[in-house]
Structure 1
Amino acid sequence: MNEDQFEGKWERMKGSVREHLGRLNDDDVAEVQGRRERLLAKIQEKYGDTKEAAEDKLKEFERNF
């Protein structure tokens, strides 16, 4: 999913993000503001992942959304 698609679907995805990525809290999700790169950074921060591992988590979420 590219940045524009991600931003366009963000309102519908917010709840699913919290379910799929349980370490993210409401404040984390609010900070993302529909920006894919911000979500990647939050995943890295909360899970202690490399950028590649965070990207894999996000791609898995996008496939299942």
Structure 2
Amino acid sequence: MNKDQVKGTAEKMKGKVNEAVGRATDNPARELKGDLQQEAGQARKNVGDMKEAAKDMAKDVKRHH
């Protein structure tokens, strides 16, 4: 797991909390902030996932040569 995956997952979790608190307190701005945080977190996690996949592919190529 790389730093983008970790930070992306953490951001998604913060977003879930903000969304839940926003709903519970009838605060649409906080709920929206949570939604946006989750999307940003997922995007960062996706970047990390792609980096890991590329690293794994590079290892496979080295093993086969």
* TM-score scaled by length of structure 2: 0.31
Query: Whose helix proportion is higher, 1 or 2?
Result: 2
Structure with higher Rg: it is 2
* TM-score scaled by length of structure 1: 0.31
